Amino acid sequence: MVCSVPELQAIGTKMLRTVAEICEREGLHYWMFFGSLLGTVRHHAPIPWDYDIDIAIPENELERFIETMNRELPAEYWVDFRTELAAPKCFARIGLAGYDTHTSHIDVYRLVGYPNGRKKQERFTKRGMLLLEMRLVKETDLRMYSGKKLKRIKLLRKLLKPISTKSIVKRFDKLCGKYPFESAESVGINTVREFCVYKRSMIENTVLADYTDYKVRIPAEFDFILRDMYNEYLKYPPQKEIDKALKGRYSVYPIRTGGKK
């Protein structure tokens, strides 16, 4: 299945509405994050030339979030996390039933407790990123790559062969639980290259914001967070970059079952 940006946005917007409604009904905490937070604040919708959807949930609610979504999501969606349909992931994605979540998905980032002190926080993020990249190398769908990048992934996969995906994910889970979310002064996402750490109080206090024809949760201090992430976040990128993104066509592949454990 090949989709345009507007087509992927329509799928994602409908999917997000379902997830947001379930979270509100079941008392689960979530926040729009990264580009989806920017889209909510600046456009009250997805960024018009982007289709990716990012939300964050507190680490101490991860298990209940996954259980609830598996139980409450309609049959047209699935939770790509720890399932026989795919290799175990470091963080969850929600996607279309029957299709891989590489292209069309909601990224469900784990908002974890952090140590105090910038240097310790930077080291903590680097450890998370390393484990994520190891997992990606071992389990990424090679259909998505070609040329030099494909050759590099195949070489790294050979080097990592003695280490199982299950052991990598287990180490990542242990890292995420090292500083309990509910008692940490600072929390962040340790699977992105950008330094993304904030006071827990800044994240936990939320407000409802318009998103197309429904509402979603965002941090009350969204302005500080967006300025930290994107600086002058109300500015648009150059028009030629927007036009290039809107011309894109993206493949959504059927699920390949039997992932390695």
Question: Predicted confidence band at 257 (pLDDT cuts at 50, 70, 90)?
Answer: low
With b meaning 16 or more CB within 10 Å and e meaning fewer, what string describes 170-204?
Answer: ebbbebbeebebeebebbbbbbbeeebbbebebbb
Pair of tokens at residue 97:
């039933």
- What mean pLDDT is predicted for residues 20-44? 97
pLDDT tens column, 195-232? 999 999 999 999 999 999 999 999 999 999 999 999 99
37 domain-assigned: yes
pLDDT tens column, 243-256? 999 999 998 989 87
260 domain-assigned: no
261 domain-assigned: no
Range of the domain at 83: 2-233+244-251
Give strand pairing partners of 96: 77
Could you tell me how far CA 98 lies from the centroid of its own chain?
20
Asked if residues 217 and 95 have their Cβ atoms less than 8 Å apart, the reply is: no
More confidently predicted of 89 and 183: 183
Whether the pLDDT of residue 112 is over 90: the answer is yes
Give strand pairing partners of 214: 211
256 domain-assigned: no
What is the domain count for the chain?
1
pLDDT at 260: 41
Whether the pLDDT of residue 261 is over 60: the answer is no
238 domain-assigned: no
Whether the pLDDT of residue 165 is over 60: the answer is yes
Whether the pLDDT of residue 94 is over 80: the answer is yes
pLDDT at 149: 86
Whether the pLDDT of residue 146 is over 60: the answer is yes
pLDDT at 159: 92
In Å, how far are 58, 137, 153 from 145, measured between CA atoms? 32, 12, 9
What's the CA gap between 165 and 174, in Å, rounded?
14
17 domain-assigned: yes
Give strand pairing partners of 188: 112, 197
What's the CA gap between 112 and 58, in Å, rounded?
6
258 domain-assigned: no
197 domain-assigned: yes
Q: Kindly tell me the burial class for residue 238, based on how many C-beta atoms sit within 10 Å of its own C-beta (0-12, 13-18, 19 or more).
A: exposed
What's the CA gap between 208 and 181, in Å, rounded?
22
